Amino acid sequence: MLTVTKNQARQFILLKQGLLGDYRFIRKDGAYQFVRQAGCIQFDPVDVCGRNAELTLQSRVKGFRRKMLNDLLYRDRLLVDYSDKELSIWPREDWPYFSGYRERSVAHGQNFPAFPNWRSRRSPISGNTAPSAAIPCPLKEASSGIPPCTGAVTGKKTPWLPVLCWNSCIRTESC
């Protein structure tokens, strides 16, 4: 049996999280590597002094910039913003592990009357292959008939769509 002191355990956790010693994660590739080793990071879209995911990466990744996370999510699509108990950012290669969640979302969405055209076709979110930029969002065509909601933080009216598909279509075309 391995015995470690409390101080050794603390140092291990801080090193693993990239918070002790020299930077282990550098620039955009480092941001991707950190999310892979962490498994996921919380994605909270509220921006008071910076979004949680950006603050997490800024404290651990040398040379991190907001655009890097945006590119990893919506241009390179190496990361996914999707539910993992709460909205999280995780590596695209974990997509197959969330198939049960996606299937339950599809089943639940079929009871949602605002999406009558979507019911008749199978959504790209239901497979085990992560979507790519070539796959259109199944909710894009339905978004025009949904009334805007008022954001709690900004007070602005913005289009609302449930998170049932790859979110880049929502962010780049509706928000």
pLDDT digits (tens, 9 = 90+) for 45-95: 788 888 899 999 999 999 999 999 999 999 999 999 887 667 899 999 988
* Number of domains, the chain: 2
Q: Please give the structure tokens belonging to residue 9.
A: 């355990």
Residue 62: give the domain boundaries: 12-96
Residues 131 and 61 in one domain: no
Residues 116 and 162 in one domain: yes
Per DSSP, 75 falls in state I
pLDDT band of 139, cuts 50, 70, 90? very low
Residues 81 and 151 in one domain: no
Residues 82 and 122 in one domain: no
Q: What is the pTM of this model?
A: 0.64
Closest CA to 90 of 103, 72, 107, 104: 72
pLDDT in tens, 90-133: 999 988 888 888 788 777 777 766 665 554 555 455 455 565 54
> Three-class SS of residue 94?
helix
**124 contacts: CB under 8 Å, gap ≥ 6:** 131, 135, 136, 138, 165, 166
Half-sphere exposure of 151 (CA within 13 A, CB side): 12
> Which of 96, 126, 141 is at the close of a domain?
96
Q: For residue 82, give the H/E element and its range.
A: strand 79-84
